[in-house]
Structure 1
């Protein structure tokens, strides 16, 4: 449990350590932070183990950021992943990012053998929008940014283009959007707009990629998005989807 002073709420934090972590005393590991950990952690933590077996993807420390339930009275993703609410009031994105930067990440780095230069943020749907917001608002906090079927929040700046300059001379890391071809029409259209306006740019501080998951739906292909993104970031082996590189 993490009691956040930045946000003023508690979070359930789930952690999966790499296989043989205790024996590999000198090894530091990439860390992936999963938004919506109530659902994404149980799906992706075991998948990562199988990816290590079959794809030779490096092991990683998996951190699920969860709420402890799905009831809106407990689950505040609709606040934490928004910069501006529908009524124009401030959302919780900035305090949430402050929680990550000032509270959770330092605790994970202090307790475990992490590799801070390989820190990854992964999110699905509205959580995918939050990943893009994090890239825009805190471009150096994460090395890898993976947004699976991101939502279309009006405050998700990177979905429609950067409106301020970002120093791209030291390009490092990844900004990846994965989209299922059978996702809801308006979300699929948003993802294709991102592909055409963002993934084609060469003035951003990341390697931008678009993953097209043929036949993929909004949430059921979450594992495909995760696996494909890791194969891009850590392997030269092609995934069984279309990976678009500008």
Structure 2
């Protein structure tokens, strides 16, 4: 906590210096809230003849950084859960805990679509008498794999190796079904309050059948249950999966105390996104860090010195604090860890470092490298 406070103080101070230097008024229009979706697309499936509505949320810098490809998070039941998922991932990205994502919400098009009937048909793996129109998960899996995903990866700069599937209730049931029947479709699985009661607890059999032929499961999986939901069945699946000791599996079971079937979702999605995409600092050779070191001008007559300390970059001294850490989160990407303020180095055409950029409340701040 102290480190975060220090970072915020530091960045706020930079902001005050830079604002005074540039003498620009703050644009109050930036307080517009979260943009929950940039585009709505429609896809008519040739496999099941259904019309799907796809809600697309793109990263803030999507149009500027035209060479970058982004991880994609697919959320089922987008008619209910898209805005919650988008909000969660944007807040996490603001804290620099995850990278920017493309979020794709899958719903249904048409006038007054019967969501209950359509989702029951798509998301349930078998036909049961008490659920009319059930049992087409296998066909919907093909729609997802051969139509929706290729469409998204053709139309957008979507990475094909950092996909996530998320769903609650029947959506969680289907996400678990995909995990053990079409494992290579996604890298991450967010399974929230899944309907493991369905068809005499058939979901446990899917896992058992998978384990008969596979001892490896290359996936990040989080299973989340509200403590007021069907936590006993969810815990049973968690123990069953954990007992296998699958190679390559990063599995977590989480219970949200005091929450039930629908209310769990907002917390569960945040937990799931973090489990799937959490950024962790990486170690960079000190020889590669040297080019970032030097003095950067805050204001006339005032500068900060960036050095190397304990294997990572650090602000040597500022307002009585020493060796404030700047962590590498990817090759050439850095962050003052745990804050919502980016920390990026600017380069010239030859790759030399000429300054650094940050921002506060969307107001850009640039510091020139002076030595």
The TM-score range, normalised by the shorter chain, is: 0.7 to 0.9
**Which digits, 9 at most, give the CA deviation of each residue in 1:32-82, with x for residues without a partner?**
111101011122112211111125211111000002488637751111111
Mark the runs of 5 or more structure 1 residues left unpaired by the alignment: 238-246
Work out which of the residue numbers 94, 97, 103 in structure 2 matches 1:53.
94
Cα separation, 1, equivalents of 2:67 and 2:55: 23
What SS does structure 2 have at the residue aligned with 1:173?
strand
- Does the 8 Å CA contact 2:222/2:275 hold for their aligned counterparts? no
Question: More deviation in 80-89 or 130-139?
Answer: 80-89
Per the alignment, residue 124 of structure 2 pairs with: 82
What is the count of residue pairs matched by the alignment?
Answer: 233
Distance in structure 2 (CA, Å) of the matches to 1:236 and 1:168: 28
Structure 2 residue aligned with 1:182, among 214, 222, 228? 228
In the superposition, the TM-score normalised over structure 1's length comes to 0.86
Which residue of 94, 98, 103 maps to 2:138? 94
The equivalent of 1:7 in structure 2 is 48
The two structures, once aligned, show a CA RMSD in angstroms of: 2.4
> Could you tell me which residue of structure 2 aligns to residue 241 of structure 1?
none
Contact 1:159 1:190 in 2 (8 A): no
Structure 1 CA distance for aligned equivalents of residues 64 and 255 of structure 2: 38
CA distance in 1, matches of 2:137, 2:252: 24
After superposition, where does 1:81-230 map in structure 2 within 5 Å? 81-87=123-129, 91-152=135-196, 153-154=198-199, 157-159=202-204, 161-164=207-210, 165-169=212-216, 171-183=217-229, 187-203=230-246, 206-230=249-273
Unaligned runs of 5+ in 2: 1-41, 281-371
Structure 1 residue 232: Cα displacement:
2.0
Higher relative contact order (CA 8 A, sep 6+): 1
**2:351 corresponds to which residue?**
none
